[in-house]
Structure 1
């Protein structure tokens, strides 16, 4: 059995793990990464990046379909379009491959050693890795657990056959004629809307009383309007009970206790994700847990000295950029720097049509803290740039303290608003007041002007409404 020693061992090369490793390498730390799959983890390989590629392809195809139907207000007309999903998926795979190679190149540049295999703890300082060439033993002074998460399955709908995960949905070689989506959260609606644009007849089944429950109703209203325009059927207060014997029909219990049978070529189950805490020897450690997640402090330390944890395995929000921020911080701590992780603002984005962004506190969350607030909201219907992109349905909203005008939260819904998330996060992180935003010159014509106008509206003097 081959044995090696290192200062830092990172288990998992997803966003949290690979960023931690790269930064540690940059700081001169002897670092080893163990990853069972491809570098980049779920986000790069089967999550964030490939899903956005497919979503973009669906958006482009939808535009062409409307042009072919003579519905384009731009005056553009085309012959009847068609979609070759196999080619779309191949294009998506090429993007993923480039990014995989990019991570490998960054490891090499930072002097990080990468081992492919399944890691399992022997104790708090020793990990055994099963590789293609045999077992390898790694002794490390410090270990970072970055094992990520996996799709949650439903007992009545085990994965297999026509019941698929989001990973499998992103690898389909043809568009299903009828698609049932179980789960009306952001993953379900992002992919459901994409396939609706490709031409699938989509039905969303959600157990709660509304879809996108993590966002307030005002933010999601434009998304619901678009779902209706795309012909997507939405069943709320409904529970998936299982598949028919033939496997081509989803049986659903509706809100009235009745049974509905939905013919479906594919059933996409997107009811959440669970931390990967099994299979890598957690039982050999004495880690404090927070429910299903590994408990950490404000520096991502676990209850065991010399062991850190970052990313999805540590709890909500399960977002790649949260994991990256944690991983970068841990690397600097291991290098001897003084760091803590400030989580006052982790922007959350839903890449539906239109997109939804939330940074900081919503109005309801802000009121729950006991402070008096004021809000300002500016519609994209009054924004020139949004009009020129046919993206008038949506708005930007700013939430601030009433006494000192400190910005507590910023939300937006609209075409392309994901790109405003950096400005929103920066404003909150830097402790901006409404006057700071209102006093910053925003370029014209841009959608970012709606951010300026929302702050001015909260101050009582919006110019364009």
Structure 2
């Protein structure tokens, strides 16, 4: 049996794992990374990147369909469009493949040794990897667990056949005529919106009182309106009872119904991947389903770190990346702690939603007086020129010193402003800082300046 030794072993080459390994390599740390599948993890291969590719294709198709129907607001007309979903998926796969090669190249450039296979702990310093060429033992001074998460399935609706997860949905080669989506969170609505634009008759079922319950109602109203315009049926406060003869059995208000569905997309959340890699061999302290960590991502076992989805919410790639970079620097001897002022969250629906920091309700719980400024995109010139008038930007700040506590927005293409929102909070900006910054005109970014001015009591364009 082959044996290798290293200073740092990273288990999982998702966003958190590969960033950790690359940064460690840059710092001169002898690093090994183990991954059973392709580098990039869920995000790159079957999540963030491929879903955005499908969303873009759906947007293009929907725009062409509007033009063909004579509904183009800018006066363009075309013949009736058609989509070859197999070709779309091939294009998506090409993008994923290029990024896979990019990650592999970056790991190699950082002199990180990559081992493909399934890792399992023997003890806190020793891992056995099942590779194609046989078992390999890796002994490490430090280990980073970055195993990520997997989709949750329901007992009455297990995956298989026509019941699919987002993974299978992103590889369909034919647009389903009818699609039932179980779960009204961001994954279900992002994909549901895309398939509705591609021509599927989509029904969304959720037990919650409204869609996207993690966001406040004001942010989700434009999304709900757009779903209705696309012909998507939304059934809230509805339970799924199971699948029978190609129909989904649901219960609403005590009455059972049957929904015809060629495919059933199950998106009721994700759970940390804590099985299959030997957690029982090292007996780490847990925080519910997640591995418990401190502000340095240290677990209860010395020299063992954990990052990303396996450590809890928010389950976001950029959180994992930030943690991975930090852990690499800690192993290198740097003094670091994970103390982010804000981690942005984005829902790539139509329109998109961005939240950073505290919402108005969350800020009120601090007991402080607040200043809240809202600026609608219907008063923004650039938004009008791209037919993106639905939505707004909202700034939440303390009233005593105008320190910005949170920024939320809903609008077309608003995800591209997330970095500016995050930087505002991370730098400790006040309303006067935003208001006093010269924003380029005409851009949607002007809306944050106007929202700050509104909070200060002297908005210009509203």
TM-score class normalised by the smaller sequence: over 0.9
Report the counterpart of residue 213 of structure 1 in structure 2.
213
After superposition, the C-alpha distances for 1:356-384 in whole angstroms (9 at most, x for unaligned) are 00000000000012111110000000000
Q: Measure the CA separation in 1 of the matches of 2:155 and 2:162.
A: 15
Mapping of residues 200-349 of structure 1, within 5 Å:
200-244=200-244, 246=245, 248-254=246-252, 256-349=253-346
After superposition, the C-alpha distances for 1:418-450 in whole angstroms (9 at most, x for unaligned) are 000000000000000000000000000000000
Mapping of residues 3-42 of structure 1, within 5 Å:
3-42=3-42
Q: Measure the CA separation in 1 of the matches of 2:268 and 2:341.
A: 27
Root mean square deviation of aligned Cα: 0.4
Determine helix, strand or coil for the equivalent of 1:342: coil
Q: Measure the CA separation in 2 of the matches of 1:378 and 1:360.
A: 18
Mapping of residues 421-460 of structure 1, within 5 Å:
421-460=418-457
Report the counterpart of residue 112 of structure 1 in structure 2.
112
Q: Measure the CA separation in 2 of the matches of 1:369 and 1:461.
A: 26
Q: Measure the CA separation in 2 of the matches of 1:372 and 1:79.
A: 56
Q: Measure the CA separation in 2 of the matches of 1:196 and 1:425.
A: 32
Determine helix, strand or coil for the equivalent of 1:136: strand
2:240·2:250 contact (CA, 8 Å) conserved in 1? yes
Q: Measure the CA separation in 1 of the matches of 2:254 and 2:190.
A: 28
Q: Tell me the CA shift for residue 82 of structure 1.
A: 0.4
Report the counterpart of residue 46 of structure 1 in structure 2.
46
After superposition, the C-alpha distances for 1:54-112 in whole angstroms (9 at most, x for unaligned) are 00000000000000000001100000100110000000000000000000000110000
Report the counterpart of residue 184 of structure 1 in structure 2.
184
Mapping of residues 11-160 of structure 1, within 5 Å:
11-160=11-160
Q: Measure the CA separation in 2 of the matches of 1:357 and 1:349.
A: 5
Mapping of residues 375-414 of structure 1, within 5 Å:
375-414=372-411
Q: Tell me the CA shift for residue 343 of structure 1.
A: 2.5
After superposition, the C-alpha distances for 1:103-132 in whole angstroms (9 at most, x for unaligned) are 000011000000000000000000000000
Report the counterpart of residue 166 of structure 2 in structure 1.
166
Q: Measure the CA separation in 2 of the matches of 1:89 and 1:369.
A: 47
Determine helix, strand or coil for the equivalent of 2:208: coil
After superposition, the C-alpha distances for 1:14-38 in whole angstroms (9 at most, x for unaligned) are 0000000000000000000000111
Report the counterpart of residue 369 of structure 1 in structure 2.
366
Determine helix, strand or coil for the equivalent of 2:193: helix
Give the alignment's TM-score, normalised by structure 2: 1.00
Determine helix, strand or coil for the equivalent of 2:156: coil
Q: Measure the CA separation in 1 of the matches of 2:33 and 2:100.
A: 14
Q: Measure the CA separation in 1 of the matches of 2:304 and 2:366.
A: 34
Q: Tell me the CA shift for residue 329 of structure 1.
A: 0.3
Q: Measure the CA separation in 2 of the matches of 1:384 and 1:38.
A: 44
Q: Measure the CA separation in 1 of the matches of 2:373 and 2:130.
A: 56
2:351·2:410 contact (CA, 8 Å) conserved in 1? yes
Q: Which runs of 5+ in 1 are unaligned?
A: none
After superposition, the C-alpha distances for 1:336-373 in whole angstroms (9 at most, x for unaligned) are 11111123200000000000000000000000121111
Q: Measure the CA separation in 1 of the matches of 2:160 and 2:48.
A: 23
Q: Measure the CA separation in 2 of the matches of 1:99 and 1:76.
A: 35
Determine helix, strand or coil for the equivalent of 2:459: coil
2:353·2:411 contact (CA, 8 Å) conserved in 1? yes
After superposition, the C-alpha distances for 1:387-431 in whole angstroms (9 at most, x for unaligned) are 000000000000000110000000000000000000000000000
Give the alignment's TM-score, normalised by structure 1: 0.99
Q: Measure the CA separation in 1 of the matches of 2:369 and 2:143.
A: 44
Q: Tell me the CA shift for residue 457 of structure 1.
A: 0.2
Q: Measure the CA separation in 1 of the matches of 2:64 and 2:411.
A: 21
Say how many residue pairs are matched. 462
Q: Tell me the CA shift for residue 286 of structure 1.
A: 2.6
2:340·2:426 contact (CA, 8 Å) conserved in 1? no
